[in-house]
Structure 1
Amino acid sequence: MDIRATLMGLGFALMWSSAFTSARIIVADAPPISALALRFVISGLLGIAIAAGLGQKISLTRGQWFSVVVFGICQNALYLGLNFVAMQWIEAGLASIIASTMPLLVAALGWIVFRDRLSPLALAGLVTGFAGVALIMGTRLSGGVDLTGLVLCVIAALALAVATLTVRSVSGGGNLLMVVGLQMLVGAAALAPFGLAFETHVVTWSWQLVVAFIYTTLVPGLAATWVWFKLVARIGAVRASTFHFLNPFFGVTIAAVLLGESLGLFDVVGVAVVTLGILAVQLAKQRPAGPAV
């Protein structure tokens, strides 16, 4: 892997992980579902406009339209929507750790549902990763973490894992930025009715809220997506996915620095264990799987 690809991977992991901290700032002063729906509208329209400028058209394959609907609902509406709602009650660092387990959940569900073969390294990674999550959860539960927010984050991670498995056989077919923009508009359409029906639209305006909203819209929303596709084109999806192992570390570090969230010894150890588990699972994808486990 060359230096440029390494820097791109680090940049993607940093941008993706920072989204939880900016989201935490947003939901403290604005209705979460409506704010996220507005973010999707802006990001989606910008993405479509940029894609059109690059010559991409809304002429997608059947598999791509399937991806637009599935990921628009599962990733944007369910995964991000539930995380935004949950972060009214739980810390950004904890939300990022739960979300970071998605590669572990994909591997586990693939093994259980589709009977995917797991190498010894992948199996060890699953056990290690979930042990780290259990350590963190045990500490947080004893410390009085809000169960509603915790459950919503777990459901969100499961929704994204199911979506990933559902469309894993769908080919790319080009027009990637156009697909991403359309997915965001689907997410906005799915979230908007709930925001209108169930939320009180009171916003406490501040420069922190404005900066966080602009940052979330442009950086995790568009820039991270663009860097990810560039990275995949450069080194392939399997090798690129290895950078996901950095997400737990970056997520809790950014939340601690910018939001002052506390980190206990068991949190640090748990993050390290989860990180090693995700790395093992991702590295196992780069080598042929052994006999079915």
Structure 2
Amino acid sequence: MPAQNVMGSREWLLLITLSVIWGGSFFFTGVAVRELPPFTLVTLRVSLAALALLIVIRARGLSMPADPRIWAAFFGMGILNNMIPFSLIVWGQTHIPSGLASILNATTPFFGVVVAHILTQDEKMTGRRLAGTVIGFAGVAFMIGPAALSGLGSNVLAQLAVLGAALSYAFAGVFGRRFRAMGVSPLVTACGQVCASTVLMLPIALFVDRPWTLAVPSVSTWLAVGAIALISTALAYILFFRILATAGATNLMLVTFLIPVSAILLGWLFLGELLEPKHFFGMATIVVGLALIDGRLPTMIGRLWRRPHPDIG
């Protein structure tokens, strides 16, 4: 079944919820990375998420598939959606400011539009979709502020790492479309992906980070790891694959425009951070871009244009 171009209210609600969950993950990651090296943190994130999802699947009386083709797809998704982007982003954020990383990560819809155009038949690039992506990206850049771009010319490798993560996410969005055709539910897909990611990441963490040599993390670090694993990974990927199955890869990638909005609003609600005029302008610009990509804005304008106007005079 081809993906729909215009998302319904249910898909938008799921997308906004996902952005809030992933927006909060930046805070938890910032806490955990103070005491845990990148590969160890990523391994804990996916392994604890896998354990939680396996418990949920068992509690619901479900079982993991035995088909080798499905497990090969799980490993492919684990590489594209977890192993590569998680590692690149965590490493990149140790060398560049988080604001710049957020702007670079917001290029994911650009890559998503191009990759989906090349690799799919039902998510081709259109002028409306490309224009909406440009407007949405401009909103993210304006909201975060020009100061975040001050380090754009330095630490080029770290910046390329975050861009590489965005490209990997775009390929993952298209790759993940196959699970619906295989008859695999979003819950089982999310579990299979993080199980495969655990198998891939564990030897890397053991070899590179030598976690047995690390000091015992504090309680706050363990709480942050738990939040990242259970909320920002386990729950988030159930929503991720549900949106992907109904709305398509291009629409799913729009979550990267909403994540900075969620992060800023969460900071305002719970950390007492101030909302500045640039935040409101940036959010409004993002909304316009999303509406343009979704198709509602052009449709609404077209209806108003075609509506007969009463004669005056």
Normalising by structure 1, what TM-score? 0.76
Aligned to 1:186: 196
Measure, in 1, the Cα distance between the counterparts of 2:267 and 2:100.
9
**CA offsets, 1:8-56, max 9 Å, x none?**
5433221122112211221122111112102211111221221122222
Tell me what 1:164 maps to: 173
Q: How far off its partner does 1:72 sit? A: 0.6
Letter of the 1:124 partner, please give it: A
Unaligned runs of 5+ in 2: 1-7, 300-313
Corresponding residue for residue 129 of structure 2: 122
Contact 2:44/2:225, CA 8 A, preserved across alignment = no
CA contact (8 A) 1:22 1:216 kept: yes
Q: Describe how 1:138-153 pairs up with structure 2 within 5 A.
A: 139-143=147-151, 146-153=155-162
- Find out whether 1:31 has 2:31 as its counterpart: no
Q: Is the aligned partner of 1:214 residue 2:223?
A: no
The percent of aligned pairs where both chains have the same amino acid is 24
**1:141-290 mapped onto 2 (5 Å cutoff):** 141-143=149-151, 146-170=155-179, 171-199=181-209, 201=211, 202-203=214-215, 205-228=217-240, 236-237=246-247, 241=252, 244=255, 245-254=257-266, 273=285, 276-283=288-295
Question: Which amino acid in 2 is paired with 1:210?
Answer: W
Q: Alpha carbons of 1:96 and 1:263: their partners in 2 closer, same or farther (altered >3 Å)? A: farther
More off after superposition, 43-52 vs 205-214: 205-214
Q: Please, which runs of 5 or more residues in structure 1 have no aligned partner?
A: 288-293
Tell me, yes or no, if structure 1 residue 17 matches structure 2 residue 27: no
Amino acid at match of 2:164: I
Q: 1:179 to 1:151 in 2, by over 3 A?
A: same
Residue of structure 1 equivalent to 2:304: none
Following TM superposition, by how much is the alpha carbon of 1:187 offset from its aligned partner in structure 2, in angstroms? 1.3
SS of the residue corresponding to residue 28 of structure 1 reads: coil
Distance apart, 1:230 and its partner CA:
6.0
* 1:137-183 per-position Cα deviation (integer Å, ceiling 9, x unaligned): 96434256754432221111111112222343452513432322221
Assess, with a 3 A threshold, how the Cα gap between structure 1 residues 226 and 183 changes in structure 2: closer, same or farther. Answer: closer
Deviates more, 1:44-53 or 1:112-121: 112-121
The one-letter amino acid of 1:211's match is L
The structure with more radius of gyration: 2
Deviation track 1:55-89 (CA, whole Å, cap 9, x = no partner) reads 22222556633431111111110112222222223
- On the 8 A contact 2:119/2:174 being kept in 1, the answer is no
- Residue type matched to 2:116 in 1? G
Does structure 1 retain, via aligned residues, the 8 Å contact 2:78–2:193? yes
3-state SS, counterpart of residue 84 of structure 1:
helix
Cα 1:138/1:194, change in 2 over 3 Å:
farther
Q: Tell me the TM-score normalized by structure 2.
A: 0.72
Instruction: Give a deviation string over 1:207-226, Cα, whole Å, max 9, x none.
Output: 33122111111111122233
Specify whether residues 273 and 64 from structure 1 end up closer, same or farther in structure 2 by C-alpha distance, changes over 3 A only: farther
Which one is further off, 189-198 or 12-21? 189-198
CA RMSD of the aligned region, Å?
3.9
Q: Which amino acid aligns with 1:161?
A: A
| 1:25–1:212 Cα contact (<8 Å) kept | yes
Find the aligned partners of 1:23 and 1:31 in 2 and give their Cα distance: 11
Alignment correspondent of 2:46:
40
Cα distance in 2 between the residues matched to 1:242 and 1:167: 12
- The equivalent residue for 2:308 is none
Q: How many residues in Structure 1 have an aligned counterpart in Structure 2?
A: 283
Q: Is the 8 A contact 1:64 1:172 kept in 2?
A: yes
> What is the Cα deviation at residue 106 of structure 1?
0.8
